[in-house]
């Protein structure tokens, strides 16, 4: 599955009008890529340890492309930003989810809900606990 398709599916899995912070969308795609890649046709991204957990610049590039296409909006709320699907983006993401087998569809929905349910600190702590290789070693003090 291509990057933009899995990104739309992941965001649609979070429900209509629900936004994702940068760490939430990076983490959701990392988990889908890591845990469900066999069910979606292989890995789509190349995540590496970064300041705030797993990171792939391609996620932002895909979000930018989808914003240009009118399927994603970036909302700045002062200190924070969120990525939200437009009505067209939600319809496209829902269609992609609907075309999937039940197992990856359910997994993507659970991941989208889970990442949105946690605070920044909780999400980062959970990812570092379950995926210690995603800690940026340069940021860890001896």
pLDDT for the residue 141: 45
Q: Mean pLDDT per segment of 10 residues, for the chain of length 142 residues?
A: 95 94 97 95 94 94 97 90 96 97 97 96 95 75 42
Within 10 Å of residue 81's Cβ, how many Cβ atoms?
Answer: 13
Measure Cα distances from 113 to 4, 18, 66, 100 in Å.
Answer: 19, 10, 21, 18
pLDDT for the residue numbered 51: 85
Angle formed at CA 12 by CA 39 and CA 31, multiple of 5 degrees = 45
Q: Are 13 and 116 in contact (CB under 8 A)?
A: no
Domains of the chain, CATH where assigned: 3-134 (1.10.10)
* pLDDT for position 138: 57
Joined together, the tokens standing for residue 91 give: 């319809």
Q: What pLDDT, on a 0 to 100 scale, did the predictor assign at position 80?
A: 84
**pTM, 2 dp:** 0.92
**Going by C-beta distance under 8 Å and a sequence separation of 6 or more, which residues neighbour residue 37?**
43, 44
What H or E segment, with its residue span, contains residue 61? helix 57-68
Strands 81-85 and 72-76: antiparallel
């Amino acid at each position: 599955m291509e990057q933009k398709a899995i990104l739309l599916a992941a965001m649609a899995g979070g429900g209509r009008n629900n936004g994702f912070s940068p760490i939430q969308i990076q983490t959701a795609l990392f988990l889908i890529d890591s845990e469900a890649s066999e069910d979606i046709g292989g890995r789509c991204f190349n995540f590496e340890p970064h300041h705030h957990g797993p990171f792939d610049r391609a996620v932002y590039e895909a979000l930018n492309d989808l914003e240009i296409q009118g399927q994603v909006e970036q909302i700045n709320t002062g200190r924070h930003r969120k990525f939200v699907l437009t009505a067209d983006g939600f319809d496209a993401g829902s269609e992609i989810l609907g075309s999937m087998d039940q197992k990856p569809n359910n997994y993507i929905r659970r991941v989208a809900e889970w990442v949105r349910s946690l605070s920044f600190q909780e999400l980062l702590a959970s990812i570092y606990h379950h995926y210690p290789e995603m800690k940026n070693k340069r940021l860890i003090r001896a």
